[in-house]
Chains A and B, each alone.
Chain A
């Protein structure tokens, strides 16, 4: 009896640690959200920005004057960007975690299926050649549409091939993605080669990824995408756990590994394509956020997925705070995630006691 009780208490402690991690990072998300609102050219305090935000939500719009500027800056410029940061960070975080578990590879990230190469090709097509997949559309909308449509092609190829083949191991799926990715990158390079330097620079910077383009008009897509990913993946986290076993064992549990893998691939690809087409390929978050979470709470997807969501959101928001405050014009957030996240990640790798992957 007492043995059973102590087992129970150990288990509870084990679980409560994971839940604590999620709660802590949810709180950090809120703090980061406030910081994101407070940072910028116009100086607004941390608490004041929340005050302005709540006032606006309650419908209190200040009289024309200095307060209106504050209200406008917060509501029209900074809130969309902060929401976009949270959505994109959380979305990429969960997609990365799901991808790593579904493909059983620590190198997998949301872009493993070749999404970023497709998006880059789409952007290059519309910026350099002026071509849009839906005729008659030009400008920044064309870039978004191109990026979205083309980024789905590599994943489409992977899924089509996997359906045709009798068995589809995670390795062959990854390798198909890489083959398509290389073909797409070659096409992009070819266009870049003959483009003038201004267009080349524009495509390059589009690829780096930034949250600066977020407005109230487009964040609804980002939020919807992120929400779908988080909810679906949390709901399916048990299946993800099953997928981490050997294929034979999965079959003996009565599940079809190929079908499960394809389901996850479809979810991740659709959501990531949506996020990427508005922001450009923000790297690192999708790869590293799940890994950092793994080193703290282990690889159980029931906790890993929600933890990756809050961690990814907090990480991207904080990185964007830094990105906004560097220099006069700010930097793309992708640069900061890499510069800050890289060393941090190495530190965590050194500090980790057990290897979450082996």
Chain B
């Protein structure tokens, strides 16, 4: 800057020089700024890979850290072992019982976090999370209906609970979208509609719960806590595809999310249909979350906190918050699930409980440490 001022005073070619030094400095600053954000995501991804390996080693059968990667790599290459041999057992346990769980943790964490980040931006409310539109209340009602009254949408198949949860969790969003045809789809209205719908479904659930016997009530209650215990390969493809498509959409439209945060009027003057975009986002988020919680139960906190943690460390630009939240959510969920299996070994604890125990204090700490204006 001093150079520039000097140049002005001498009046010689100051224009050129000012541009050179100023933009160079700016560029460097900007690069550093971007570098930090990219580093955050990279660190999260490295963490995911490391913890995934460690997570696979936990269990009654002893399999080493590097051995775990080796087994996975060999399986991908298509190596087969003699039936019943030691390697065969190792492979079977890693591939069929431990790895699905790791995959599910990563997908669920990523999906919940990205959905939360998008929901908070779309609704312009730091309290919003993936369940703001009432998705969880619908799912819980569907499951309670199946457990208490034996009513399922698919007859008596083994997927009765899952299908019930999936179908009923889409109803609240459906109601809100229908409602927005009759009234304005401002964030406040939509949040309140979501609250109303969830209260309604919660009321129905309570109605069923208070009328049933204690054992069924306990069953229905435990479903709600959320666990990754029941992970199998067959449940992965649906949630993977839906999450992939949903996150791709949200990542590519993160600029629109930024525009949306300026307010609906500014968005309109920039040529964007804010209400329409909001509805599309809601629909995508609902499908993503429904496909996950129908397998895992209601896992709270990740969807609310992971985006905030990303925002608190990186600032509010959605182009970076969305991928960062996604990476952090996956890491967080994976680590929590690992802890869930370590702390009460050889038993385990639902991952939802661990997440709250660990995430709560971290979140508090970050709020205390926050720089102004990140939220």
Contacts and interface: CB of A to CB of B under 8 A. Distances in A.
Interface of A: 105-107, 161, 165, 167, 169, 171-172, 174-176, 178-180, 182-183, 185-186, 189-190, 192-193, 197-198, 200-201, 204-205, 208, 283-284, 287-288, 291, 331-332, 334-339, 341-343, 345-346, 349-350, 352, 355, 357-358
A291 B191 CA distance: 12
B196 A288 contact: yes
Nearest to B123: A107
Contact of B191 (A107, A161, A174, A284): A107
Interface string B197-214: 101101110110110011
B189 interface: yes
A149 to B, nearest CB: 20
A316 to B, nearest CB: 14
Interface stretch (B156-164, B237-245, B322-330, B351-359): B351-359
A172 B375 contact: yes
A107 B195 contact: yes
Nearest to B126: A171
Complex A-B, nearest 6 residue pairs according to Cβ-Cβ distance, in ascending order = A338-B203, A342-B200, A186-B356, A183-B360, A197-B214, A357-B188
12 contacts: A106-B188, A174-B126, A183-B361, A190-B349, A200-B214, A283-B199, A345-B196, A345-B199, A346-B193, A346-B197, A349-B179, A352-B183
Given A339-B203, A339-B207, A182 B196 contact: no
Nearest to A209: B206
A102 to B, nearest CB: 15
B217 interface: yes
Contacts of A176: 364, 367
B367 A175 contact: yes
A289 to B, nearest CB: 13
A175 B192 contact: no
B353 A201 contact: no
B187 to A, nearest CB: 8
Contacts of A287: 195
Contacts, number: 158
A338 B206 CA distance: 10
Contacts of A334: 203, 206
B182 A192 contact: no
A346 B18 CA distance: 59
Nearest to A112: B127
B116 interface: no
B40 interface: no
Given A171-B126, A193-B350, A339 B196 contact: no
Contacts of B308: 175
A346 B179 contact: yes
B100 interface: no
B372 interface: yes
Contacts of A193: 222, 225, 349-350, 353
B249 to A, nearest CB: 26
Interface in B217-266: 217-218, 221-222, 225
Given A332-B210, A349-B183, A178 B199 contact: no
| Most chain A CB neighbours (cut-off 10 Å) among B215, B359, B364 | B364
A336 B196 CA distance: 13
Given A106-B188, A179-B364, A208 B210 contact: yes
B209 A204 contact: yes
B214 to A, nearest CB: 4
B367 A183 contact: no
Given A332-B210, A342-B197, A350-B182, A183 B357 contact: yes
Contacts of B182: 350
Given A107-B195, A183-B356, A358 B186 contact: yes
